[in-house]
């Protein structure tokens, strides 16, 4: 399902005494979060936070937020999930957000057979792993170029060429 506001990280702590927050990014690279002028604290675009400055710092992103000038004010934001507005993002051709393909119907590229629904995605480091559920069974599929043929989030459709043995009921 295509959502207007997308979860993109979580405020996990403070940094310094002047109100900066540490954000755990939920994206491919923390650098991605440095390009936004504002983020939101809910999925409907409420709780707008104007970003004055953002920069990667190890595995987090440090953010200075307008109106948050002390460690006490920053501490009140700890635990908040942050969202971005989809219209503020320009994705390269063929790229999509994971949340856009969750729930999509998965088809076999060679037979057009329905293999199930994409129910989850695990990020393993080397490559993502797609969880495809069909009749109560879960299949794990590596999200690699040899397997993923196309993803069409706007059609809630994904086409794969599964590796031998994944969907076979062989032992």
**Domains of the chain with bracketed CATH:** 5-86 (2.40.30.60), 98-160 (2.30.30.240)
Tell me which H or E stretch contains 164: none
Please say if the pLDDT value at position 171 is more than 50. Answer: no
Work out the pLDDT band at 148, boundaries 50, 70, 90: very high
Does residue 170 carry a pLDDT above 60?
no
CA dist., res. 23 & res. 55, Å (int): 10
Both tokens of residue 86?
């989809």
Q: How far apart (Å, rounded) are the C-alpha atoms in residues 163 and 142?
A: 9
> Mean pLDDT across the chain, nearest whole number?
92
pTM of the model: 0.75
Q: Which residues pair with 118 in a beta bridge?
A: 132
Across 16-110, the runs of DSSP E, i.e. the strands, are 20-25, 38-40, 48-57, 60-65, 81-85, 105-108
Task: Assess contact for 130 and 114: CB atoms under 8 A.
Answer: no
Pair 51, 61: CB distance under 8 Å: no
What is the predicted pLDDT for the residue at 3?
Answer: 86
User: Is-contact 115 43, C-beta < 8 A?
Assistant: no
**Cβ–Cβ < 8 Å for 147, 163:** yes
Give the Cα separation of 2 and 162 in Å (integer). Answer: 25
Q: What integer pLDDT is reported at residue 169 of this predicted model? A: 61
- For residue 167 the two structure tokens come to 């969907």
Q: Render pLDDT for 125-142 as a digit per residue (tens, 0 to 9).
A: 788 999 999 999 999 999
| 137-142 and 128-134 beta bridge pairing | antiparallel
């Amino acid at each position: 399902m295509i959502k207007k506001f997308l979860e993109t990280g979580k405020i996990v702590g403070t940094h310094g005494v002047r109100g900066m927050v540490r954000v755990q990014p939920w994206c491919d690279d923390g650098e991605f979060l440095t390009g936004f002028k504002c983020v939101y604290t809910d999925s409907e675009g409420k709780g707008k936070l104007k970003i004055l400055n953002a920069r990667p710092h190890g595995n987090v992103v440090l953010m200075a937020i307008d109106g948050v000038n002390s460690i006490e004010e920053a501490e009140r934001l700890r635990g908040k999930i942050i969202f971005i507005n989809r219209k503020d993002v320009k994705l390269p051709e063929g790229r999509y957000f994971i949340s856009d393909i969750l729930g999509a119907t998965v088809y076999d590229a060679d037979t057009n057979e329905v293999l199930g629904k994409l129910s989850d995605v695990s990020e393993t480091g080397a490559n993502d792993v797609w969880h495809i559920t069909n009749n109560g069974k879960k299949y794990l599929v590596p999200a690699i170029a040899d397997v993923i043929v196309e993803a069409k989030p706007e059609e809630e459709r994904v086409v794969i060429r599964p590796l031998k043995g994944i969907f076979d009921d062989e032992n």
